[in-house]
A and B are shown apart, each in its own frame.
Chain A
Amino acid sequence: MNIHDKTIAELAQGLKNKEFSSVELTQHYLDRINASDLNAFITITDEIAIKQAQVADQHIASSQSTTLTGIPYAHKDIFCTHGVKTSAASKMLDNFIAPYDATVSHKLNQSGLVMLGKANMDEFAMGSSNESSFYGAVKNPWDTNKVPGGSSGGSAVAVAGGLSAFATGTDTGGSIRQPASLCGITGIKPTYGRVSRYGMIAYASSLDQAGPLTKTAEDSAIVLNAIAGFDEKDSTSVDTEVPDYTQNLNDSIQGLTIGLPKEFFAEGLDDGVAKAIMAAVKEFEALGAVVKEISLPNSKYAIPTYYIVAPCECSSNLSRMDGVRFGHRCTDPTDLEDLYLRSRTEGFGEEVKRRIMIGTYALSAGYYDAYYLKAQKTRHLISNDFKEAFKKVDVIMGPVSPTTAFDLGSFKDPVSMYLADIYTLSTNLAGLPAMSIPAGLSQKMPVGLQMIGNYWSESKLLNIAHQFQQQTDWHAQTP
Chain B
Amino acid sequence: MISDTELKQITNLAKLIIDENTKHETIKDLNAILELATQLGQIDTNNITPMAHPLHMTQRLRADKVTEQDQSKSFQSIAPKIGKQHYLVPTVIE
**Chain A residues engaging chain B, CB cutoff 8 angstroms:** 96-97, 99-100, 192-193, 206-207, 232, 235-236, 238, 298, 300-301, 303-305, 307-308, 315, 322, 324, 329, 332-333, 335-337, 339-342, 344-345, 348, 353-354, 356-358, 360-362, 364, 371, 373-381, 383, 413-415, 418, 429-432, 455
Name the distance in Å between B9's Cβ and chain A's nearest Cβ.
7
The answer, yes or no, to whether B90 is at the interface (CB within 8 Å) is yes
B82 sits at the interface (CB 8 A): no
Determine the distance from Cα of A311 to Cα of B93 in the docked complex, in whole angstroms. 33
In the complex, the answer to whether B40 meets A99 with C-beta atoms within 8 Å is no
A96 in contact with B15 (CB, 8 Å): no
The answer to whether B55 and A455 have CB atoms under 8 Å apart is yes
The answer to whether A356 touches B60 (Cβ under 8 A) is: no
Q: Which residues of B contact A (CB under 8 A)?
A: 2, 6-7, 9-11, 13-17, 26, 29-30, 32-41, 43, 45, 48-55, 57, 59-60, 62, 67, 71, 74-75, 77-78, 80, 89-90, 92-93
- Whether A431 and B74, one on each chain, are in contact in the complex, defined by CB atoms closer than 8 angstroms, is no
6 pairs, CB–CB < 8 Å, chain A vs chain B: A99-B75, A99-B77, A332-B90, A354-B26, A354-B29, A357-B26
Given contacts A340-B15, A376-B51, contact A99 B78 (CB under 8 A): yes
Instruction: Pick the contact of B43: A100, A301, A360 (CB < 8 A).
Output: A301
> Whole-angstrom distance between the alpha carbons of A206 and B56 in the complex?
11
**Residue of A with least CB distance to B80:** A329
**Distance (Å) between the CB of A407 and the closest chain B CB?**
21
Instruction: Give chain A residues whose Cβ lies under 8 Å from the Cβ of B13.
Output: 360, 364
Given A99-B77, A99-B78: A357 and B37 interface contact (C-beta under 8 Å) = no
**Contact, CB under 8 Å: B17 / A341:** yes
Is the pair B52, A376 in contact by a Cβ cutoff of 8 Å?
yes
Contact yes or no, A97 B78, CB < 8 A = yes
Inter-subunit contact B36/A377 (CB<8 Å): no
Are A418 and B29 in contact, CB atoms less than 8 angstroms apart?
A: no
Interface of B is mostly: loop
In the assembled complex, the CB of A421 is this many whole angstroms from the nearest CB of chain B, namely 12
How far does the Cβ of A234 sit from chain B's closest Cβ, in whole Å?
Answer: 10
Which residue from A236, A305, A361, A431 sits with its C-beta under 8 Å from B30? A361
Whether the pair A96, B78 counts as a contact (CB closer than 8 A) is yes
Residues of B within 8 A of A373 (CB): 50
**Across the interface, which residues of B come within 8 angstroms of A340, CB to CB?**
15
Check if A375 sits within 8 Å of B34, measured CB to CB.
no
How far, in angstroms, from A342 to B92 measured CA to CA in the complex?
14
- Known contacts A324-B89, A360-B10, A415-B33; is-contact A383 B51 (Cβ 8 Å): yes
**Residue in chain B with minimal CB distance to A430:** B54
Nearest chain A CB to B66's CB is how many angstroms away? 14
CB of B55 within 8 A of CB of A431, answer: yes
For B89, the closest partner residue in chain A by CB is A324
With both chains docked as a complex, state the minimum distance between the C-beta of A121 and any C-beta of chain B, in angstroms: 21
Chain A residues positioned under 8 Å from B7 (CB to CB): 357
What's the nearest-Cβ distance from chain A to residue B86, in Å?
13
The 8 closest A-B pairs by CB, nearest first: A431-B54, A376-B50, A377-B45, A380-B51, A336-B92, A340-B15, A360-B14, A345-B17
CB neighbours (8 Å) of A308 from chain B are 37, 40
- Given the contacts A329-B80, A339-B90, A373-B50, A298 and B43 also touching, CB distance less than 8 Å: yes
Q: What separation, in Å, do the CA atoms of A267 and B77 have in the docked complex?
A: 55
Contact A414 B45 (CB under 8 A): no
Residue numbers in A under 8 Å from B93 (CB-CB): 335-336
Q: How far is the CA of A39 from the CA of B93 in the complex (A)?
A: 44
Would you call A307 and B14 a contact (CB within 8 A)?
no
> Known: A333-B90, A377-B49. Is A238-B57 also a contact (CB below 8 A)?
yes
Chain B residues lying within 8 Å of A336, measured Cβ to Cβ, are 92-93
By the criterion CB–CB under 8 Å, are A339 and B34 in contact? no
Are B71 and A99 neighbours in the complex by a CB distance under 8 Å?
yes
B35 partner residues in chain A, CB cutoff 8 A: 415
Name the residue of chain A whose CB is nearest to the CB of B74: A99
Once A99-B74, A339-B90 are accepted as A-B contacts, the answer to whether A379 and B16 lie under 8 Å apart by CB is no
A99-B75, A304-B36, A361-B6 known; 15 new pairs, CB 8 Å cut-off, are A97-B78, A192-B55, A304-B37, A324-B89, A332-B90, A354-B30, A354-B33, A371-B37, A376-B51, A377-B43, A378-B45, A381-B45, A415-B29, A415-B32, A418-B36
